[in-house]
Amino acid sequence: MASAKSTKNIMFRGVNQALYKYLPGSWVDFSQSGGGITYAVHVDRWNSVHLTGINNKRLLRVVNQRVGEFKSRSRDGAASVVNFSSLINEDTYYVLTPKISEQERAIVTSVKPWVFVCSSCGRVRQYYSYAEFKRRENEACDACGKHMTQLRMIRFCKCGYADGIFVPKCRNADHGTKYMTRRGSSVDFVCKKCGQKADVPFSCPDCKQKLSIKSALDSAHYFPFTLSLIDLLDKRKDVFLDNEEEGRGEKVVIGQYLGLIPQEEYADIIAKGSITQEDEFEAALQKEADNLRLGGLDDATIAMVMDAKRRANPSGKIYEAIAQVGQGLAVVNADDITSIAEEVLEYDELVHAKVVLSLQEAERDAEIVKDGMKPDYTGLAKALGFANVQICSGVPVIFAAYGYTRKEREPLEGVRLHGFPQEMEKKNIYATRLETEGVLFELDRRRVLTWLVENRLIEKEDLPQDMSDFGIKMWFLDRVHLDRITPFCAIDESDACGAITKRVYTLIHSISHALINEASEICGLDKSSLSEYILPNVPAVFLYCSNAQGFNMGALYSAFQSHFDLWLKRAKERTEKCIFDLICINKEKACVGCLYLNEVSCQHFNKDLDRGYLCGYYDKQKQEKQTGFWED
């Protein structure tokens, strides 16, 4: 309601906030400039521009994967997704972000519902157009002259239908809605003239299922589907992965992570954009042999030189590394190996961020601040099962929203995942990019395996045959299946692959939430300003500031540098108790009193959490003791 003549509300909100709270199809509260009356308004559309300077190709590939996962997990199949292209890529979609403009605001809304009720006598009034609402907005009640307020209730269905409540007509056609009065605080309407009750239809006009009626601002009617990605901007790596077929490029990325390919050779391959083929190498050798022959060298010596060069051929070692990675990974799906390689690239991006600070460097800085008393950050991290902890600053993170459901988040029967209204020539998702800082916590892989076996969460037969550092790294890449981890469902542990994935992920996820809960206390940021980015195949978690304010303040940097020991000790202590024990530890395993976070902060919507994994737990039914990963 920018002006009396406007037919729509137009307003602007912070971009990050908009991606979670003000997406098309949702309802929000809106006050006129200068305060005054507050209305429930429907977000009709955005005015957007292209988001540039990001890796669109990868973002859209991940969105395509997420939509496909929803579709495959729903009993309704393809019908479970609405307003999405069959393939989401750069040919069919734009990545947009809200327009920042003084002339045209980013988020366009309209007042809904158009039903108002008298605060004194309960008489209701139904408007049938925005123009009528604006004309009569300040009119008092026809019956008693008192102020009328908006009835902020909507009807909605899991199929995606939603609309404002309306005033039902009296069965007496002559009365219509003229004498209709609201009774109580619900949606019961009675005709004041004849006393007859008028019912609001509870059947969805689209799917004929029962409608729900709730406050327009109740979060249950709108679940945004969002994701965050560490932006991989090195286009050379994209080119390299595109140039190589049969997963060779991905295996090279994984090979350098496993130490099979030296970093210098890996950098040369990326710079060149491809692996040198054997025929190319042999052609180069033959040319060199001809030059040596012209220089007067005899054939026997030339043969010795050529043989030595063949043995030292880096491409031969590269192909050996590719074969070794292929033998170690049981994955057969190309998308699966791509996901593993991209997680490795994300890990590399964090480890080699623009600015890094190790625990040893933080100890030296803290020693100066604490008058010569050097804290043992490294020892404490090791005691709690971390192999490496470091600050990573200047990390590019993309926040994206690609659709929404109503009433239910999970892909249950009848639930529809809706894409957003199309703004330009192609369909669109929304995103924003932020360079931020955070703390990377990398778990001690050997200790994780030992803990899993000791607690009978995996069998000894599940352990890697090669218990070297290489073998253990390969085990986490091979046995933790990323395709089993979706944001909207708990991990299915009905088979061995799912069971191992669930147990490893639950451990990392529980540690992540325990650290975020305590970080907010240590660094002074609200918990909703902190987010997690889990790397299950490493395994590691990156805890970062999800808004520019926290990054600019250097809040996590300061907490890491000066209070790392206090952070970890308090996080450990906090997991040992919950205000809802014994119910929590015995039944729920995690709840709002201990590990739960705001859904903005959690990648997995508070699923697959278990406080007992950290503090330990005695199962009375099984008469078994589970030792906590952090238990003394």
pLDDT in tens, 355-370: 999 999 999 988 887 7
Q: What is the CA radius of gyration of the chain?
A: 30
DSSP state of 158: T
551 is a domain residue? yes
Q: Are residues 359 and 239 both part of a single domain?
A: no
35 pLDDT above the threshold of 80: no
Out of 14-18, 278-282, 610-614, the most confident range is 610-614
Please state, in angstroms and rounded to a whole number, the distance separating the CA atoms of residues 547 and 582: 36
Domain limits at 291? 229-328
Confidence band of 280 (pLDDT split at 50, 70, 90): low
Q: Are residues 342 and 490 both part of a single domain?
A: yes
The predicted pLDDT at position 272 comes to 86
Count the domains in the chain: 2
Q: Are residues 364 and 490 both part of a single domain?
A: yes
Of 556, 576, 596, at which residue does a domain stop?
576
430 is a domain residue? yes
Q: Are residues 287 and 428 both part of a single domain?
A: no
Other Cβ atoms within 10 Å of 272 Cβ, number: 12
Q: Are residues 476 and 446 both part of a single domain?
A: yes
Mean pLDDT in residue range 611-630:
91
Confidence band of 603 (pLDDT split at 50, 70, 90): confident
Residues 6+ apart with CB under 8 A from 263: 256
Q: Are residues 505 and 484 both part of a single domain?
A: yes
410 is a domain residue? no
Q: Are residues 278 and 299 both part of a single domain?
A: yes
Confidence band of 57 (pLDDT split at 50, 70, 90): very high
The residue that leads in pLDDT, 556 or 372, is 556
Please state, in angstroms and rounded to a whole number, the distance separating the CA atoms of residues 11 and 43: 10
Please state, in angstroms and rounded to a whole number, the distance separating the CA atoms of residues 47 and 142: 39
Q: Are residues 392 and 490 both part of a single domain?
A: yes
Q: Are residues 345 and 280 both part of a single domain?
A: no
Angstrom CA distances, 281 to 180, 289, 305, 316, 419, stand at 87, 12, 14, 10, 50
Of 285, 311, 328, at which residue does a domain stop?
328
Q: Are residues 285 and 433 both part of a single domain?
A: no
433 is a domain residue? yes
Confidence band of 2 (pLDDT split at 50, 70, 90): very low
Q: Are residues 474 and 428 both part of a single domain?
A: yes
146 is a domain residue? no
Confidence band of 552 (pLDDT split at 50, 70, 90): low
Exposed/middle/buried for residue 596 (C-beta within 10 Å: 0-12, 13-18, 19+): middle
The predicted pLDDT at position 5 comes to 31
The predicted pLDDT at position 3 comes to 36
Please state, in angstroms and rounded to a whole number, the distance separating the CA atoms of residues 303 and 351: 44
Q: Are residues 378 and 253 both part of a single domain?
A: no
36 is a domain residue? no
Of 328, 360, 382, at which residue does a domain stop?
328
Do the Cβ atoms of 227 and 488 come closer than 8 Å?
A: no
522 is a domain residue? yes
Mean pLDDT in residue range 15-34:
77
482 is a domain residue? yes
pLDDT tens profile 562-589:
899 999 999 999 999 999 998 999 899 9
